[in-house]
């Protein structure tokens, strides 16, 4: 136990001394644009791309200037995105024809050239911009899917916390050596899973009675009035699921609940129609089978080194 404590002490100390240029291992710093970029090769809609970048602590990238355009073109080389092009952060979703980047830069101030016969605003429903590997752009339907690039601009005096992230809402608990964050903006279970993953975390997995008590204490810090837009306020999503097998409960990391914490609330699980397949956690500190489509608060768990480069 003492050696484990010393390990975490020195690891946390090392993290606290890391400067912001190490933001997270899956982003690469580029000197020309004074920030970090990450290519997402799995295509997504514009809204999902914007959200994923936001959850990762970045913005959906736009070719704001000539240097930035060159960096993006180089990023696309030898990838799936070189053939398809990428979504940019340039959009007119708020006002038809008024294209701006996520940061608010108007398209007219960017050194970009339209592809031949673009823009065409096909079916009066093309409010997003894709950039191709040659640097030209086209307007497209925002519900189409394309790869995309996320960008985070370097800022002064920004350092990683003891949890190895720039997100200060994660807090290390010495009882488990993990970091936890309660999300009070309610989402359905799938979005909750995505949010935790984007933050370098995962929906919390409860391993024993002590960890259940820890999460109960965390939940108590957020009264019902602070949870926004929920269907239910006294349950939060956590990291277990039936994986399509009714009442066979398994963590999102593939372990049976029988190997960890398995105490359900009285009269739970009850599998209310149309079916409850997702893991929930009552304020009482006990488990619930929850409706996956409901919007509820949720708890993310993160190891302190999950976003650090193993080679650093």
Predicted local confidence at residue 3, as pLDDT: 47
Predicted local confidence at residue 309, as pLDDT: 81
Torsion angles phi and psi, residue 205, rounded to 5: -110, 125
Quick one: pLDDT band at residue 21, thresholds 50, 70, 90?
low
Peptide bond into 274 cis (omega under 30): yes
Q: How far apart are CA 243 and CA 245, in angstroms?
A: 6
Quick one: pLDDT band at residue 193, thresholds 50, 70, 90?
very high
pLDDT tops 90 at residue 16: no
Spatial CB neighbours of 128, under 8 Å, sequence gap ≥ 6: 46, 87, 88, 90, 91, 92, 93, 139, 140, 141, 142
Specify the range with the lowest mean pLDDT, choosing from 10-24, 56-70, 254-268: 10-24
The total number of residues shown for the chain amounts to 312
Confirm whether pTM is higher than 0.85.
Answer: yes
Predicted local confidence at residue 9, as pLDDT: 47
Predicted local confidence at residue 184, as pLDDT: 95
Predicted local confidence at residue 1, as pLDDT: 44
Domains of the chain in sequence order: 23-153 (3.10.100.10), 171-303 (3.10.100.10)
Q: How far apart are CA 234 and CA 142, in angstroms?
A: 36
Express each pLDDT in 111-164 by its tens digit.
999 999 999 999 999 999 999 999 999 999 999 999 999 999 998 767 889 999
Percent of the chain surpassing pLDDT 90:
81
Q: Which value, to the nearest 10 degrees, does the dihedral of the CA atoms of residues 23, 24, 27, 29 take? A: 30
Q: How far apart are CA 253 and CA 199, in angstroms?
A: 17
Instruction: Look at strands 235-241 and 296-303 and give their pairing.
Output: parallel
pLDDT tops 90 at residue 183: yes
Predicted local confidence at residue 18, as pLDDT: 43
DSSP states of 54-70: HHTTSEE----SHHHHH
Per-residue pLDDT averaged across 99-105, rounded? 96
Q: How many CA atoms lie within 13 A of 37 on its CB side?
A: 22
Per-residue pLDDT averaged across 9-27, rounded? 59
Percent of the chain surpassing pLDDT 70:
92
Predicted local confidence at residue 15, as pLDDT: 43
Q: How far apart are CA 41 and CA 201, in angstroms?
A: 20
pLDDT tops 90 at residue 102: yes
Express each pLDDT in 237-262 by its tens digit.
999 999 988 878 999 999 999 889 99
Predicted local confidence at residue 7, as pLDDT: 52
Predicted local confidence at residue 312, as pLDDT: 52
Q: How far apart are CA 251 and CA 32, in angstroms?
A: 43
**What's the whole-number average pLDDT of the chain?**
91
Quick one: pLDDT band at residue 40, thresholds 50, 70, 90?
very high
Strand segments (E) across 136-270: 136-140, 146-153, 171-173, 178-187, 202-203, 235-241, 250-251
Predicted local confidence at residue 112, as pLDDT: 94
* Start-end of H helices in 153-228: 189-198, 209-220
């Amino acid at each position: 136990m003492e050696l484990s404590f010393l390990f975490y002490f020195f690891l946390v100390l090392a993290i606290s001394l890391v400067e912001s240029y190490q933001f997270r291992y899956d982003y690469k710093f580029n000197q020309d644009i004074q920030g970090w970029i990450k290519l997402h090769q799995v295509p997504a809609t514009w809204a999902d791309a914007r959200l994923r970048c936001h959850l990762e602590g970045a913005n959906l990238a736009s070719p704001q200037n000539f240097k930035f355009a060159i960096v993006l073109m180089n990023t696309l080389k030898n990838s799936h995105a070189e053939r398809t092009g990428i979504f940019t952060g340039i959009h007119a979703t708020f006002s038809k024809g008024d294209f701006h980047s996520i940061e608010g830069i108007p398209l007219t101030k960017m050194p970009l050239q339209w592809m031949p016969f673009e823009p065409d605003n096909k079916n009066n429903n093309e409010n997003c911009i894709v950039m191709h590997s040659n640097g030209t752009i086209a307007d497209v339907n925002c519900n189409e899917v394309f790869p995309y690039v996320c960008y985070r601009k370097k800022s002064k005096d920004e350092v990683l916390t003891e949890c190895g992230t720039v997100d200060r809402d994660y807090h290390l608990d010495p009882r488990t050596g993990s970091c936890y964050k309660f999300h009070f903006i309610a989402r359905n279970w799938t979005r909750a899973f995505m949010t935790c993953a984007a933050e370098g975390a995962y929906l919390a997995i409860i391993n024993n009675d002590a960890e259940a008590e820890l999460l109960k204490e965390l939940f108590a810090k957020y009264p019902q009035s602070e949870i926004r837009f929920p269907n239910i306020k006294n349950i939060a999503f956590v990291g277990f699921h039936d994986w399509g097998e009714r009442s066979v409960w398994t963590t999102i990391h593939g372990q049976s609940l029988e190997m960890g914490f398995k105490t359900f609330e009285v009269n739970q699980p009850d599998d209310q129609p149309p079916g409850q397949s997702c893991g929930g956690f009552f304020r009482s500190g006990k488990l619930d089978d929850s409706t996956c489509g409901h919007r509820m608060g949720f708890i993310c768990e993160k190891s302190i080194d999950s976003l650090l480069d193993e080679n650093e």
